[in-house]
Copies of this chain bind each other. A is one copy, B any other.
């Protein structure tokens, strides 16, 4: 094993990393010293990165890991401080990579925060520390200024409760406005701006407002087409996009990783803490902390490609529809694919990829090994089922972030066990759709056991109103139809939350909810005091038994034939 020291000297460490990487041969370790390294984009390597669920583009990279085999980056507790637009770690076509014992932060994060000093029907006054979050007011808009970038507010503001440091009760995106194209602003004094809008949900004085004013350009760790990656004792205080995003990878472990704010910030990374797209083998999250990120804790899914044209008996033109999926590979020759109707999501035929020719980031010509089904028409979707993973999350804590905790869409073996989860939306969401996000992956084997669910679903309604939400985007579920999801066991968990709704499930064949102990808290006023604990639609082979409420056995009942609209709200 070759040992290469990354010297801890003043100035930009980026060129020194490049020198270290040149020295790497198979089986090397780059050793950092315990201390603070600084990285700027100027002399960083550049690569056009198509990173799923983030923005694609030409990116500077501090640790560009291409075609590395058996490489360990031993951090020794080093703090890696980034300046401006740069991706800390990007790995492609690598194998046996370990990144260990280091922390990632930015001096000037890509997002800003302030504290509410007043709020009324006409707007909200926010005091912003201009040293930490430089900005200017320009033509009625607030423009935040960073190191090498400037950005007007366009991507939402989010209220965080000063006491809980979690999203404020019932306060959704942009205080209920969603994502308006712009919010008018006026300067009140040198450190205070007034957001001029009639916000549906007024924040309280003292609440923090987080301004998301930057696209998902700079994730902290992005992994593509790589095998056996271990991230251990890695702390991500911030990133200008997701924390860890892996696509078309095999066997990825996050062990004792922490996504958590630094200093006085109430936000950590700018989007999901972790995200796995078309990965295979095993994904394991062990003893991790995911808090205060501006989107979900974890999302595991495949991608449905839409059929744009059927060109001949064996060839289709496929489309990566969502712009954050553009440029993500379709698959390799030999990969198994299934075709599904985009309204029912149910797959009706399988096939094998013979060849893929990318036309551009959006379209690809895919030749199949066998004749296509005659029912295949434009609008239907194709899913690559050779790239799906087993998933385990054990001993993790997920809390205080915007939106949900775990989004699970994979047919592999899924185990969520011994986790502490409290989200302003659903703690666990098992979905699937073929019309907007195009995130695929009907589940086949899910065990949710021994987790401790805290207060959930106190945020915006679209984030979920049931602690566990199984809600594939299917138009209708009828009796006798095949079900989309299968075999989900929710057993021996504790639920301690303020609202009664624990489980929403649609189109599941084989659902167990048993051995769970339920406690009602008083943390927040109930949002839907009369909601049933369990709501089902189009589910078969359901077992609900042996659950307790406040220590007493309770008969949790479920309505198995609620109308669609009632279920989805």
- By a CB distance below 8 angstroms, the chain B residues around A359 are 18, 43-46
| A303-329 contact mask (Cβ, 8 Å, vs B): 1 or 0 | 000000000000001000000000000
Cβ < 8 Å to B, chain A residues 347-373: 359-363
A361 touches B48 (CB 8 A): no
A144 → chain B closest CB, angstroms: 17
B363 touches A42 (CB 8 A): yes
| A11-48 contact mask (Cβ, 8 Å, vs B): 1 or 0 | 00000001000000000000000000000001111101
B361 touches A46 (CB 8 A): yes
Per CB-CB distance, the 9 closest pairs between chain A and chain B, nearest first, are A46-B360, A48-B48, A43-B363, A43-B359, A46-B361, A60-B360, A45-B360, A44-B360, A45-B359
A185 → chain B closest CB, angstroms: 13
A312 → chain B closest CB, angstroms: 13
Bound: A58/B59 CA distance, A:
13
Q: What residues of chain A have their CB less than 8 Å away from a CB belonging to chain B?
A: 18, 42-46, 48, 56-58, 60, 139, 182, 317, 359-363
Residue on B with the closest CB to A362?
Answer: B42
Residue on B with the closest CB to A361?
Answer: B46
Bound: A182/B58 CA distance, A:
27
Bound: A363/B45 CA distance, A:
9
Q: In the complex this chain forms, how many copies of it are found?
A: 2
Bound: A60/B358 CA distance, A:
13
Given that A43-B363, A359-B18 are known contacts, is A139 also in contact with B182, CB under 8 Å in the complex? yes
B363 touches A58 (CB 8 A): no
A149 → chain B closest CB, angstroms: 14
A-B contact list, 20 entries, CB within 8 Å: A18-B359, A42-B362, A42-B363, A43-B317, A43-B359, A43-B360, A43-B363, A44-B359, A44-B360, A45-B359, A45-B360, A46-B360, A46-B361, A48-B48, A48-B58, A56-B58, A57-B58, A58-B361, A60-B360, A139-B182
Bound: A45/B42 CA distance, A:
30
Specify which of A18, A48, A56, A363 lies most central, judged by the most chain B CB atoms within 10 Å of its CB: A363
Bound: A42/B48 CA distance, A:
20
Give 10 A-B pairs besides A44-B360, A46-B359, A46-B360 with Cβ atoms closer than 8 angstroms: A42-B362, A42-B363, A43-B317, A43-B359, A43-B360, A43-B363, A45-B359, A48-B58, A58-B361, A139-B182
- By a CB distance below 8 angstroms, the chain B residues around A60 are 360
Residue on B with the closest CB to A184?
Answer: B139
Bound: A307/B58 CA distance, A:
24
A141 → chain B closest CB, angstroms: 9
Bound: A453/B362 CA distance, A:
50
Bound: A317/B44 CA distance, A:
13
A118 → chain B closest CB, angstroms: 25
Bound: A557/B45 CA distance, A:
56
Residue on B with the closest CB to A60?
Answer: B360
- By a CB distance below 8 angstroms, the chain B residues around A44 are 359-360
A4 → chain B closest CB, angstroms: 19
A496 → chain B closest CB, angstroms: 47
Bound: A513/B58 CA distance, A:
50
- By a CB distance below 8 angstroms, the chain B residues around A182 are 139
Bound: A363/B58 CA distance, A:
14
- By a CB distance below 8 angstroms, the chain B residues around A360 are 43-46, 60
- By a CB distance below 8 angstroms, the chain B residues around A363 are 42-43
Bound: A57/B58 CA distance, A:
8
